[in-house]
Structure 1
Amino acid sequence: MAFTGKYELESQENYEAFLEAIGLINAKTDHKVVTEVLQDGNSFTWTQTIPNWTWSNKFTVGQECELATMMGSKFKAPVTMEGGRISIQFPQYHFTAEIIEDKLIMVCQVCSIILKKT
């Protein structure tokens, strides 16, 4: 399923616990995050925006890509897709994303803490 679109955060579960687990509790914000995804075949540009801050990554499914964390640290990781779900191992957590009923569902997991964003 195509990911291209602009998605505004509707809900999130375990947000504060997740930020605490990865040491970013001071990064907590009450702003609604807007995620814009541009997909061209297996290539993606993934951008998240709140007022005064933007975080963007470009990657290609099936390749090891240079990516950046929310705080700007660079790392390399393979990007995979299985069953329509993108999967990336960030340094501190595992990220997946998929489209369900025209909604972008993003899941970040660190240990037993699962952050789910719709």
Structure 2
Amino acid sequence: MAFSGKYETETQEGYDAFCKLLGIPDDVIEKGRDYKLVTEVVQNGDEFSWTQHYPANHSVCNKFVIGKESDMQTIGGKKFKATVHMDGGKLSVQFPNYVHTSEIAAGKLVEVNLCSLVLKRTSKKL
């Protein structure tokens, strides 16, 4: 499947400004700035398990089916319901404060978080 794999952050653009806009404390922003986030994706057709591993052994796993409302969780632990869509090989989902899109481009996982600012994270496959 196109998304299945384990990925590690290579680059982040707009990290500090995006995190500040979301109200993330400065000390947490500092810890995460150079952290090599690991994302594990298991895709089985339209079913996904999407796990992100953060510092201090903190992980968030969201399981969803394309086009069906699912229970989701933010890094801060806020639970919400959302429907993930796929269009042209790109996943998109509305989080509480931003829109998250993901795609595989040139073998890399490219994630874009968009509100009034943009956070773009590119991760290499491990």
TM bracket, shorter-chain basis:
over 0.9
Give the corresponding residue for 1:15. 15
The TM-score normalised by the length of structure 2 is 0.89
Matched with 1:55 is 60
- Structure 1 gap ranges (5+): none
Task: Give the letter aligned to residue 33 of structure 1.
Answer: L
Q: Identity, % of aligned pairs?
A: 49
Q: Deviations over 1:10-45 (max 9, x none)?
A: 000000000011111433213210001000000100
CA RMSD of aligned residues (A): 1.1
Paired position in structure 2 for 1:85: 90
Cα deviation for residue 77 of structure 1 reads: 1.0
Matched residue pairs, number?
117
SS in structure 2 of the partner of residue 16 of structure 1: helix
Q: Which 4+ residue blocks in structure 1 deviate beyond 4 angstroms?
A: none
The structure 2 residue matched to 1:35, chosen from 39, 52, 55, is 39
SS of aligned partner of 1:105: strand
